[in-house]
A = this chain, B = another copy of it.
Amino acid sequence: MNRLLLKQQLTQFFNEDIGLGDRSAAALGQTRTEAVITAKQDGCFYGREVLIEGASLLGLEVLYVLHDGSRVQSGTEAARLSGPCDSLLSGERVLLNLVQRLSGTASLTRKAADLLEGTGVRITDTRKTTPGLRMLEKDAVRAGGGASHRGGLDEACMIKENHIAAAGSITRAVEAVRRTAGPLTAVEIEVETEKELHEAIQCRPHAIMLDDCTNDEAMRWAALIPDGILVERSGSITLDTLRGAAVPGIDFISMGALTHSAPALDMSMRLAVKETVQ
Protein backbone atom coordinates (compact mmCIF):
# COMPACT_ATOMS: atom_id res chain seq x y z
CA MET A 1 0.00 0.00 0.00
CA ASN A 2 1.31 3.40 -1.03
CA ARG A 3 -0.36 5.96 1.20
CA LEU A 4 0.65 8.97 -0.90
CA LEU A 5 -0.98 7.44 -3.95
CA LEU A 6 -4.04 6.48 -1.91
CA LYS A 7 -4.39 10.08 -0.76
CA GLN A 8 -4.33 11.30 -4.37
CA GLN A 9 -6.90 8.73 -5.44
CA LEU A 10 -9.25 9.56 -2.58
CA THR A 11 -9.01 13.28 -3.34
CA GLN A 12 -9.99 12.55 -6.92
CA PHE A 13 -12.90 10.34 -5.81
CA PHE A 14 -14.25 12.90 -3.34
CA ASN A 15 -14.03 15.63 -5.96
CA GLU A 16 -15.93 13.46 -8.41
CA ASP A 17 -18.87 13.25 -6.01
CA ILE A 18 -18.75 16.60 -4.21
CA GLY A 19 -18.02 18.76 -7.26
CA LEU A 20 -18.76 22.41 -6.50
CA GLY A 21 -20.05 21.48 -3.05
CA ASP A 22 -22.63 19.36 -1.28
CA ARG A 23 -25.88 21.25 -1.80
CA SER A 24 -27.71 19.34 0.91
CA ALA A 25 -25.09 20.01 3.55
CA ALA A 26 -26.74 23.27 4.54
CA ALA A 27 -29.39 21.23 6.30
CA LEU A 28 -26.82 19.57 8.45
CA GLY A 29 -24.60 22.08 10.12
CA GLN A 30 -21.39 21.18 11.81
CA THR A 31 -22.78 19.40 14.83
CA ARG A 32 -20.13 16.96 16.04
CA THR A 33 -21.41 13.52 15.25
CA GLU A 34 -20.30 9.92 15.37
CA ALA A 35 -20.86 7.62 12.45
CA VAL A 36 -20.79 3.86 12.71
CA ILE A 37 -20.09 1.63 9.74
CA THR A 38 -21.66 -1.77 10.20
CA ALA A 39 -21.51 -4.92 8.11
CA LYS A 40 -24.90 -6.16 6.97
CA GLN A 41 -23.57 -9.43 5.59
CA ASP A 42 -20.99 -11.99 6.65
CA GLY A 43 -17.66 -11.60 4.94
CA CYS A 44 -14.17 -10.23 5.17
CA PHE A 45 -13.49 -6.52 5.77
CA TYR A 46 -11.12 -4.37 3.73
CA GLY A 47 -10.82 -0.62 4.01
CA ARG A 48 -8.72 0.33 7.02
CA GLU A 49 -6.32 2.63 5.13
CA VAL A 50 -9.13 3.95 2.96
CA LEU A 51 -11.04 5.06 6.03
CA ILE A 52 -7.99 6.45 7.83
CA GLU A 53 -6.78 8.52 4.88
CA GLY A 54 -10.29 9.42 3.77
CA ALA A 55 -11.17 10.66 7.24
CA SER A 56 -7.99 12.69 7.37
CA LEU A 57 -8.81 14.41 4.06
CA LEU A 58 -12.30 15.28 5.30
CA GLY A 59 -11.17 16.52 8.71
CA LEU A 60 -12.66 13.54 10.53
CA GLU A 61 -11.29 11.32 13.28
CA VAL A 62 -11.24 7.53 13.18
CA LEU A 63 -12.22 6.25 16.61
CA TYR A 64 -12.04 2.63 15.65
CA VAL A 65 -11.54 0.55 12.54
CA LEU A 66 -11.06 -3.17 11.95
CA HIS A 67 -7.83 -4.53 10.55
CA ASP A 68 -7.94 -5.52 6.90
CA GLY A 69 -8.86 -9.14 6.49
CA SER A 70 -10.95 -9.32 9.65
CA ARG A 71 -13.91 -11.62 9.31
CA VAL A 72 -17.18 -9.83 9.93
CA GLN A 73 -20.73 -11.01 10.48
CA SER A 74 -23.92 -9.15 9.80
CA GLY A 75 -23.99 -6.61 12.61
CA THR A 76 -20.24 -6.38 13.19
CA GLU A 77 -19.15 -2.79 13.73
CA ALA A 78 -16.39 -2.19 11.19
CA ALA A 79 -15.48 1.39 11.98
CA ARG A 80 -16.49 4.41 13.97
CA LEU A 81 -15.74 7.93 12.76
CA SER A 82 -16.27 11.26 14.42
CA GLY A 83 -16.48 14.80 13.15
CA PRO A 84 -18.73 17.57 11.86
CA CYS A 85 -22.05 16.23 10.65
CA ASP A 86 -21.77 17.83 7.19
CA SER A 87 -18.32 16.40 6.49
CA LEU A 88 -19.44 12.94 7.53
CA LEU A 89 -22.39 13.07 5.18
CA SER A 90 -20.45 14.56 2.30
CA GLY A 91 -17.92 11.75 2.47
CA GLU A 92 -20.24 8.86 3.29
CA ARG A 93 -21.12 7.65 -0.19
CA VAL A 94 -17.56 7.61 -1.59
CA LEU A 95 -16.20 5.82 1.47
CA LEU A 96 -18.97 3.23 1.41
CA ASN A 97 -18.69 2.77 -2.35
CA LEU A 98 -15.03 1.90 -1.86
CA VAL A 99 -15.20 -0.15 1.31
CA GLN A 100 -18.16 -2.22 0.16
CA ARG A 101 -16.57 -3.08 -3.18
CA LEU A 102 -13.16 -3.83 -1.70
CA SER A 103 -14.64 -5.86 1.14
CA GLY A 104 -16.52 -7.74 -1.54
CA THR A 105 -13.23 -8.61 -3.19
CA ALA A 106 -11.65 -9.54 0.14
CA SER A 107 -14.66 -11.70 1.02
CA LEU A 108 -14.67 -13.58 -2.26
CA THR A 109 -10.94 -14.14 -1.98
CA ARG A 110 -11.38 -15.37 1.58
CA LYS A 111 -13.90 -17.93 0.40
CA ALA A 112 -11.55 -19.07 -2.32
CA ALA A 113 -8.59 -19.25 0.05
CA ASP A 114 -10.63 -21.22 2.56
CA LEU A 115 -11.66 -23.68 -0.14
CA LEU A 116 -8.02 -24.25 -1.01
CA GLU A 117 -6.94 -24.73 2.58
CA GLY A 118 -4.74 -27.73 3.01
CA THR A 119 -4.02 -28.10 -0.70
CA GLY A 120 -0.92 -25.92 -0.76
CA VAL A 121 -2.39 -24.13 -3.76
CA ARG A 122 -2.67 -20.34 -3.57
CA ILE A 123 -5.37 -18.17 -5.04
CA THR A 124 -4.20 -15.08 -7.01
CA ASP A 125 -5.76 -12.12 -8.74
CA THR A 126 -5.28 -11.03 -12.38
CA ARG A 127 -5.02 -7.72 -14.26
CA LYS A 128 -8.81 -7.73 -14.66
CA THR A 129 -9.12 -5.03 -12.03
CA THR A 130 -11.30 -1.94 -12.13
CA PRO A 131 -9.44 0.81 -13.99
CA GLY A 132 -8.18 3.24 -11.36
CA LEU A 133 -8.50 0.81 -8.45
CA ARG A 134 -5.70 -1.67 -9.08
CA MET A 135 -3.65 -0.91 -5.96
CA LEU A 136 -6.65 -1.14 -3.67
CA GLU A 137 -8.16 -4.22 -5.27
CA LYS A 138 -4.89 -6.11 -5.19
CA ASP A 139 -4.42 -5.16 -1.57
CA ALA A 140 -7.93 -6.39 -0.82
CA VAL A 141 -7.05 -9.72 -2.44
CA ARG A 142 -4.05 -10.02 -0.13
CA ALA A 143 -6.21 -9.11 2.84
CA GLY A 144 -8.57 -11.93 1.90
CA GLY A 145 -5.79 -14.48 1.89
CA GLY A 146 -4.83 -14.33 -1.76
CA ALA A 147 -1.57 -13.51 -3.48
CA SER A 148 -0.82 -10.86 -6.07
CA HIS A 149 -0.15 -11.79 -9.64
CA ARG A 150 1.90 -9.18 -11.51
CA GLY A 151 0.97 -5.55 -10.74
CA GLY A 152 1.06 -4.40 -14.35
CA LEU A 153 2.62 -4.89 -17.75
CA ASP A 154 5.94 -3.62 -16.41
CA GLU A 155 6.38 -6.23 -13.69
CA ALA A 156 6.78 -9.58 -15.41
CA CYS A 157 6.60 -11.04 -18.89
CA MET A 158 3.57 -13.09 -19.76
CA ILE A 159 3.88 -14.88 -23.08
CA LYS A 160 0.35 -15.44 -24.30
CA GLU A 161 -1.31 -16.73 -27.41
CA ASN A 162 -0.98 -13.41 -29.22
CA HIS A 163 2.69 -13.03 -28.35
CA ILE A 164 3.40 -16.51 -29.60
CA ALA A 165 1.57 -15.84 -32.84
CA ALA A 166 3.40 -12.58 -33.38
CA ALA A 167 6.83 -13.99 -32.55
CA GLY A 168 6.32 -17.18 -34.53
CA SER A 169 6.83 -19.66 -31.70
CA ILE A 170 7.06 -19.89 -27.92
CA THR A 171 10.81 -20.21 -28.10
CA ARG A 172 11.22 -17.11 -30.22
CA ALA A 173 8.86 -15.13 -28.04
CA VAL A 174 10.81 -16.07 -24.91
CA GLU A 175 14.11 -15.22 -26.56
CA ALA A 176 12.74 -11.82 -27.55
CA VAL A 177 11.53 -10.85 -24.10
CA ARG A 178 14.69 -12.20 -22.43
CA ARG A 179 16.77 -9.79 -24.46
CA THR A 180 15.21 -6.88 -22.59
CA ALA A 181 14.00 -8.47 -19.37
CA GLY A 182 16.11 -8.03 -16.30
CA PRO A 183 17.40 -10.91 -14.19
CA LEU A 184 14.62 -10.49 -11.61
CA THR A 185 11.83 -10.29 -14.18
CA ALA A 186 9.74 -13.41 -14.09
CA VAL A 187 8.80 -14.97 -17.42
CA GLU A 188 5.60 -16.97 -17.56
CA ILE A 189 4.27 -18.88 -20.58
CA GLU A 190 0.63 -19.65 -21.20
CA VAL A 191 0.03 -22.99 -22.90
CA GLU A 192 -3.10 -24.51 -24.36
CA THR A 193 -1.83 -27.84 -25.69
CA GLU A 194 0.61 -30.49 -24.60
CA LYS A 195 2.78 -29.67 -27.59
CA GLU A 196 3.05 -26.08 -26.41
CA LEU A 197 3.74 -27.35 -22.90
CA HIS A 198 6.78 -29.31 -24.05
CA GLU A 199 8.17 -26.31 -25.90
CA ALA A 200 7.50 -24.08 -22.90
CA ILE A 201 9.35 -26.42 -20.55
CA GLN A 202 12.39 -26.27 -22.80
CA CYS A 203 12.46 -22.49 -22.29
CA ARG A 204 12.83 -22.86 -18.52
CA PRO A 205 10.49 -20.02 -17.56
CA HIS A 206 9.65 -19.09 -13.97
CA ALA A 207 6.12 -20.28 -14.42
CA ILE A 208 3.81 -21.99 -16.87
CA MET A 209 0.12 -21.27 -17.01
CA LEU A 210 -2.24 -24.03 -18.02
CA ASP A 211 -5.11 -22.25 -19.69
CA ASP A 212 -8.65 -23.57 -19.69
CA CYS A 213 -7.87 -27.27 -19.39
CA THR A 214 -9.71 -30.13 -17.67
CA ASN A 215 -8.69 -31.36 -14.24
CA ASP A 216 -7.28 -34.50 -15.82
CA GLU A 217 -5.19 -32.54 -18.27
CA ALA A 218 -4.05 -30.23 -15.51
CA MET A 219 -2.86 -33.11 -13.39
CA ARG A 220 -1.16 -34.86 -16.25
CA TRP A 221 0.50 -31.72 -17.57
CA ALA A 222 1.59 -30.50 -14.16
CA ALA A 223 3.35 -33.82 -13.66
CA LEU A 224 5.45 -33.13 -16.74
CA ILE A 225 6.72 -29.79 -15.45
CA PRO A 226 10.00 -30.05 -13.59
CA ASP A 227 10.62 -28.63 -10.15
CA GLY A 228 11.66 -25.01 -10.14
CA ILE A 229 8.97 -23.99 -12.61
CA LEU A 230 5.77 -22.81 -10.94
CA VAL A 231 2.47 -24.04 -12.34
CA GLU A 232 -0.57 -21.79 -12.63
CA ARG A 233 -4.09 -22.73 -13.65
CA SER A 234 -6.49 -20.20 -15.03
CA GLY A 235 -9.70 -19.87 -17.00
CA SER A 236 -13.33 -20.72 -16.25
CA ILE A 237 -12.76 -21.62 -12.61
CA THR A 238 -15.50 -20.71 -10.14
CA LEU A 239 -15.91 -21.19 -6.41
CA ASP A 240 -17.82 -24.37 -7.24
CA THR A 241 -15.00 -25.89 -9.24
CA LEU A 242 -12.08 -24.37 -7.38
CA ARG A 243 -11.30 -27.13 -4.91
CA GLY A 244 -11.41 -29.73 -7.66
CA ALA A 245 -9.13 -27.62 -9.82
CA ALA A 246 -6.41 -27.72 -7.18
CA VAL A 247 -4.96 -30.94 -8.49
CA PRO A 248 -1.49 -32.08 -7.47
CA GLY A 249 1.30 -30.14 -9.08
CA ILE A 250 -0.57 -26.83 -9.28
CA ASP A 251 1.04 -23.97 -7.35
CA PHE A 252 -1.53 -21.25 -7.81
CA ILE A 253 -4.85 -20.58 -9.46
CA SER A 254 -5.79 -17.12 -10.72
CA MET A 255 -9.38 -15.90 -10.83
CA GLY A 256 -10.37 -12.70 -12.62
CA ALA A 257 -13.67 -12.82 -10.79
CA LEU A 258 -11.96 -11.77 -7.55
CA THR A 259 -11.79 -8.25 -8.92
CA HIS A 260 -14.24 -8.05 -11.81
CA SER A 261 -17.21 -9.87 -10.38
CA ALA A 262 -17.04 -9.86 -6.60
CA PRO A 263 -20.44 -8.80 -5.23
CA ALA A 264 -20.12 -5.79 -2.92
CA LEU A 265 -20.34 -6.57 0.79
CA ASP A 266 -23.36 -4.73 2.08
CA MET A 267 -22.55 -2.19 4.79
CA SER A 268 -24.31 0.81 6.25
CA MET A 269 -23.22 4.02 7.87
CA ARG A 270 -25.41 5.44 10.61
CA LEU A 271 -24.96 8.81 12.29
CA ALA A 272 -25.60 9.57 15.93
CA VAL A 273 -25.58 13.26 16.77
CA LYS A 274 -23.54 13.78 19.93
CA GLU A 275 -23.02 17.36 20.93
CA THR A 276 -23.53 20.67 19.24
CA VAL A 277 -20.43 22.64 18.34
CA GLN A 278 -19.89 26.10 16.93
Q: Is the CB of B31 within 8 A of A18?
A: no
A162: which B residues are within 8 A, CB to CB? 28, 85, 89, 271
Q: Given the complex, which residues of B lie within 8 Å of A215, measured CB to CB?
A: none
Which candidate, A111-119, A194-202, A259-267, is the interface stretch facing chain B?
Answer: A259-267
**Quick check: is A219 within 8 A (CB to CB) of the other chain?**
no
Asked whether A2 lies within 8 Å of B19 as measured between CB atoms, the reply is yes
CB-based contact A135/B20 at 8 Å: yes
- Contact between chains at B131 and A133 (CB < 8 Å): yes
Residues of B contacting A127 in the complex (Cβ-Cβ under 8 angstroms): 17, 93, 97
Chain B CB within 8 A of A124 CB: yes
In the complex, how many residues of chain A place their beta carbon closer than 8 angstroms to a beta carbon of chain B?
A: 99
Smallest CB gap from A129: residue in B? B97
Say yes or no: is A165 at the interface (Cβ < 8 Å to chain B).
yes
Q: Does A16 belong to the interface (CB within 8 Å)?
A: yes
A181–B21 alpha-carbon span in the complex (Å): 11
List chain B residues, Cβ under 8 A from A33: 166
- CB of A128 within 8 Å of the partner chain: yes
- In the complex, the answer to whether A133 meets B130 with C-beta atoms within 8 Å is yes
Chain B residues, Cβ within 8 Å of A228: 228
